[in-house]
Amino acid sequence: MLLHPCFTSCVQIKQVAISPTCQGQGLGKKLMVYAEDVAKRLGYSTIFLTGRQSAWNFYRKLGYSELMDDYVDGDLVFKVFKKEIQTVPIVKEMKTNG
């Protein structure tokens, strides 16, 4: 999985993949939640991704909405998804000598 910055407020999640032998164990969801958390902490407010047809319901269950109609690339059918997230304000503490 990769996080690829697109704009100052938008990041793309790329190459989400779980081995077929490990699917159904919640690993994909944990990876996505972690990626969203990292994106929030980095100050991004929008995430988008391109998903294969076999993963569309997975992304919908995680709160992603479809941006456009599906498209075909070779033998695979894809769709672009988007999710708005709440950024996490970074608070820096000042050290004092007292």
Per-residue pLDDT of the chain (98 residues; tens, 9 = 90+): 899 999 889 999 999 888 989 989 999 999 999 999 999 999 999 999 999 999 999 999 999 999 999 999 999 999 999 999 988 766 656 666 65
How do the residues of the chain divide into helix, strand and coil, expressed in percent and rounded to 5? 30, 30, 40
Q: Which phi-psi region, left, alpha or beta, contains residue 76 (left: φ > 0; alpha: ψ -120 to 50)?
A: beta
pLDDT of residue 17: 87
- For the entire predicted model, the pTM comes to 0.83
Dist. CA 16–CA 48, nearest whole Å: 12
- Decide which of 3.40.640.10, 3.40.630.30, 3.40.50.10490, 3.90.550.10 is the CATH code for 2-84: 3.40.630.30
Boundaries of every domain in the chain: 2-84
pLDDT of residue 50: 96
pLDDT of residue 41: 92
**Residue 65 and residue 83 in contact, taking contact as beta carbons nearer than 8 Å:** yes
